[in-house]
Structure 1
Amino acid sequence: MSERPPHHGPDGRFRIPWPLVHPDRTRNGGVLRWQRERMMQKRAPDPRPEQLPPGTPEVARPRAAAEEVRITWIGHATFLVQMGGLNLLTDPHFSERASPFQFMGPRRFVPPAVDFDALPPIDAVLLSHDHYDHLDAPTVKRLHRKYGTALTWIAPLGHAEWLAGARIRHNVHDVDWWDSVELRGPAGPVSVTCAPAQHWTRRTLREFNNRLWGSFAIRSATRAVYFGGDSGYFRGYPEIGARLGPFDAVLMPIGAYDPRWFMAPAHMDPEEAVQSYREMGGGGVFIPMHWGTFRLTDEDPLEPPIRLHKAWEDSGLPPDDLRVLRHGDTVIL
């Protein structure tokens, strides 16, 4: 028998296999403490629509040129990545709320920046983990109805069973960390490699870490893009850069970080996102995500990019490599 990887627990669940940089205070009453603090503290108001003006998508239709990469931020962790002649969606979310219910739960500040029906033909979907702001069942079902077996699904271990429950059983790749899937593009193969992240999974009270979480490196013959998924800061980013880099674009989460005592193990703040980028090699454009779409935690929803700009400047990184997008903006490489 082969040795069990350290992130595979003996009970069949998954676990974080390294020492945490920030202590985990989510258990033993941590959730109740957070909710009590929320009731006692005044929070910044939700942003008004004019504070989040939309960008203008520059989507290639039906596909980008073989040597070109186009990355369009649709909102939260949803990107349309056009590279190697393929169209990929990351954590697609086109519903009104990030919730198991569409009548309650975190609601969008702004609509998806590219309408679902205006998407170019999608070849593959990358799912980082099962939380409702990343794995949106209505969107998954819409994609399946539209593309059927022509669509490839790539997700960390355990998600194939969930997708089968949504009647998606073909072209599903359930991958472990460091596993790769090769997609056939018109310009040659495009590889998608699942990489580590520091997070957790749960969709019901009875589930906890039944499914793995991860990030992804996407590489064509000439370009590479890293999608960070959802993660707290951990000391594995140098290894990701060494094994899968260098990257032409790095898509990193920068929001959902307050209160810090509670959120730090699962959500990095803007300063840690810059640190992670530097540890992966500090090359390529940095594109932030996971902010300005849903209110999930307690920081001012407009604060993350402000802190990101300062952290970037303090690190002495090239100003032109930081691309803070409006919803709908496209970066073209």
Structure 2
Amino acid sequence: MTRQDSSLRARASSTVRAAVVSGTNKLADAGLPGAQAIGASPAEIAAEVAASPFLRDGRFVNADPPSPIGGPPVGALVDMVRRPGRPTGTIMVTTPDFAPSARDLAVTWLGHATALVEIDGVRVLTDPVFSRRCSPSQLVGPARLHALPCDIADLPPLDVVLISHDHYDHLDTASVVELARTQPAAVFVCPIGVGAHLRAWGIGAERIRTAQWHDEVAVTGGNGTAIRFAAVPARHFSGRGLDRDLTMWASWAIIGPRHRAFFSGDTGFSEAYEDAGAAFGPFQLNLIAIGAYDPLWPDIHVNPEEAVTIHRMLARGTDALLVPIHWGTFNLARHTWGEPAARLTHAAQPSPGRAPVDIVIPQPGGEVDVVDRTGTATVVPDWWKESA
């Protein structure tokens, strides 16, 4: 790309963004939000990421080369309009009863990629989305398929809000602003570039910790325990408007003094997770996405069988627990609602030369103590089959 081409592209991007911002502001009177939900401007993001060695012509790119697309794209929109991802029945939801103090290693799944992880007495909330829709507007966009297990006001004191990337189904403006208000001790940990969004929404820079791939940040919880967060390369993309890949996306290794957990965020399959397991594992708890996959976007989301493979890379031969995320809450792909859980259950079974994988599939609001799995688990076995 020539310098002139880059300049034309930048001007075109700026013009389009200005038009989008103007349009959303004009629609605010009709109940649509203004430009706030889009987040930081490209210039504000660029100021945060400018020194990153992972930028290519001002944008982040995946380390893995693109995979071939499986199948023709024609008809995909028609398939989505048919809404095959809706459940046939009401989805079971449990109201969580949070323990008075954080445990050694436990997780409560709150829907999609939002989970409360307790590790060595520190509480970490992942990719908070408590709004009805994962969209810049609560009038349009993918709507929640089940009730919220709890409201933000019902959460226990948090130490960390951990964010994988800036897509609307992982970074919800209203949720992070409310968390910043109601959880004054919580620190926000995110990939570089995403911090610019948080600052644009009024979250103080002193509460934000950013990292890029292969970097670590440490946060000391209210109990005095230091937890390390290592940014692991994921295979995905970013963007909240028409500008893509200005901010980084990442999976996270959550490393305590006694226990280790892994949060995939959004990712396509990558052999790089073998390196993450070697560098930071073995992990006792792996939260890995299993839904919203499709042959048309193999680099965007893993399927359940790939999730099991990634889990094995991270567990490194141990009896680690796999808890699936990123499924069942929003209709984002062409597969049926229960297919991710069914395929995961099958993939976890033993096979020649392979031991079974220990999985727990919580209902929204279900929790499991990873250290004492029978003592405090509130997960209803095979609950999802009633809605599939």
TM-score by length of 1: 0.88
Is structure 2 residue 310 aligned with structure 1 residue 276? yes
The one of 103, 109, 112 equivalent to 1:73 is: 109
Alpha-carbon separation, structure 2, partners of 1:236 and 1:256: 21
The one of 82, 86, 97 equivalent to 1:46 is: 86
Displacement of 1:232: 0.4
Counterpart of 1:165 in structure 2 is 200
What is the identity, as a one-letter code, of the residue corresponding to 1:285?
Answer: L
Deviations 1:166-188 (A, max 9, x none): 01122211210121111113252
Counterpart of 1:211 in structure 2 is 247
Deviations 1:1-44 (A, max 9, x none): xxx876321x2210012224x22589xxx8776325545xx553
Alpha-carbon separation, structure 1, partners of 2:199 and 2:206: 9
Is structure 2 residue 57 aligned with structure 1 residue 17? no
Displacement of 1:219: 1.3
Displacement of 1:57: 2.6
Counterpart of 2:274 in structure 1 is 238
Change (3 A) 1:211 1:32: farther
Displacement of 1:56: 5.2
Is structure 2 residue 301 aligned with structure 1 residue 264? no
Report the aligned-residue RMSD.
Answer: 2.2
What is the identity, as a one-letter code, of the residue corresponding to 2:86?
Answer: D
1:1-333 equivalence runs, <5 A: 7-9=54-56, 11-20=57-66, 22-23=67-68, 34-36=76-78, 38=80, 42=82, 44=84, 46-48=86-88, 50=90, 52-55=91-94, 57-61=96-100, 63-65=101-103, 68-148=104-184, 150-168=185-203, 169-185=205-221, 186=223, 188-205=225-242, 207-258=243-294, 260=295, 262-280=296-314, 281-283=316-318, 284-315=320-351, 316-318=354-356, 321-332=358-369, 333=371
Change (3 A) 1:5 1:161: closer
Alpha-carbon separation, structure 2, partners of 1:145 and 1:19: 41
Alpha-carbon separation, structure 2, partners of 1:48 and 1:114: 23
Change (3 A) 1:49 1:139: farther
Change (3 A) 1:14 1:234: same
The answer to whether the 8 Å contact 1:127/1:155 transfers is yes
Say which is worse superposed, 106-115 or 245-254, in terms of deviation.
Answer: 106-115
The answer to whether the 8 Å contact 1:197/1:232 transfers is yes
Deviations 1:137-177 (A, max 9, x none): 110111112134x2211111101111111011222112101
Alpha-carbon separation, structure 2, partners of 1:200 and 1:45: 23
What is the identity, as a one-letter code, of the residue corresponding to 2:291?
Answer: G
Say which is worse superposed, 171-180 or 238-247, in terms of deviation.
Answer: 171-180
Alpha-carbon separation, structure 2, partners of 1:303 and 1:134: 22
Displacement of 1:45: 6.1
Alpha-carbon separation, structure 1, partners of 2:366 and 2:80: 33
The answer to whether the 8 Å contact 1:108/1:294 transfers is yes
Displacement of 1:86: 1.6
The alignment partner of 1:274 has SS state of helix
The alignment partner of 1:55 has SS state of coil
Select the structure of larger CA radius of gyration: 2
What is the identity, as a one-letter code, of the residue corresponding to 1:167?
Answer: G
Deviations 1:181-238 (A, max 9, x none): 1111325211111111100001011x11000000111111110000000000011111
Say which is worse superposed, 81-90 or 99-108, in terms of deviation.
Answer: 81-90
Alpha-carbon separation, structure 1, partners of 2:87 and 2:70: 29
The alignment partner of 2:275 has SS state of helix
The answer to whether the 8 Å contact 2:227/2:257 transfers is yes
Alpha-carbon separation, structure 1, partners of 2:365 and 2:262: 19
Change (3 A) 1:31 1:112: farther
TM-score by length of 2: 0.76
Alpha-carbon separation, structure 2, partners of 1:24 and 1:15: 18
Alpha-carbon separation, structure 2, partners of 1:109 and 1:326: 13
What is the identity, as a one-letter code, of the residue corresponding to 1:34?
Answer: A
The alignment partner of 2:283 has SS state of coil
Change (3 A) 1:43 1:105: closer
Segments of structure 1 that go 5 or more residues without pairing to the other structure are none
Displacement of 1:125: 0.6
How many residues of Structure 1 are paired with residues of Structure 2 in the alignment? 314
Say which is worse superposed, 105-114 or 247-256, in terms of deviation.
Answer: 105-114
